[in-house]
Amino acid sequence: MNVLVLNGPNLNLLGTREPSVYGATTLADVEALCREAGAARGASVDCRQSNHEGQLIDWIHEAGVAHREGRLAGVVFNAGAYTHTSIALHDAIKGAGVPVIEVHISNVHARESFRHHSWLSPVAAGIVVGFGVDGYVLAIDGLLRKTASSRS
């Protein structure tokens, strides 16, 4: 089975952006971690990053088609700041019908109040918050377990 890992705005700056919050791990490190986690579970992982909301929406739409065709388990998605602002991403996830696991490296609920609301959570299949980059591994594992149990 395949998994799509999407990263939103500013996640290309991992390793240099606010290391006290996000750590020293780079996006390339996160992508390698995700591919290793997928391979350990018999899944192929495709990683993509964009700072552009429309590109992320297009990828979610594509993921919906791949999921319906049985080629994709779902999406692990760190939407960055779009989590707190994008009704369009909410609508894309809801409309595409693909399982999405929302991921945040930091505990957004322990940060600024504007980060406490997520437009994605109501349409997410699950949420992983505050485990650092290990959250991606937890999300991949959870998504694949959820997919396996729904097919049983």
Binding residue ranges for substrate: 78, 84, 91, 105-106, 115
The whole-angstrom separation of Cα 132 and Cα 72 is 25
Question: For the chain, give me the number of helices (H) and strands (E)?
Answer: 5, 5
List 67, 82, 90, 104, catalytic entry = 104
Residue 82 among the catalytic residues: no
DSSP letter at 98? -
Told to judge if 136 belongs to the known catalytic residues of this protein, a careful annotator would answer no
Query: Which positions make up the binding site?
Result: 78, 84, 91, 105-106, 115
User: Residue 10 contacts by C-beta under 8 Å, 6 or more apart in sequence?
Assistant: 17, 51, 80, 81
Sheet holding 44-49, edge to edge: 44-49, 2-7, 74-78, 100-104, 126-129
Active site (catalytic) residues: 22, 104
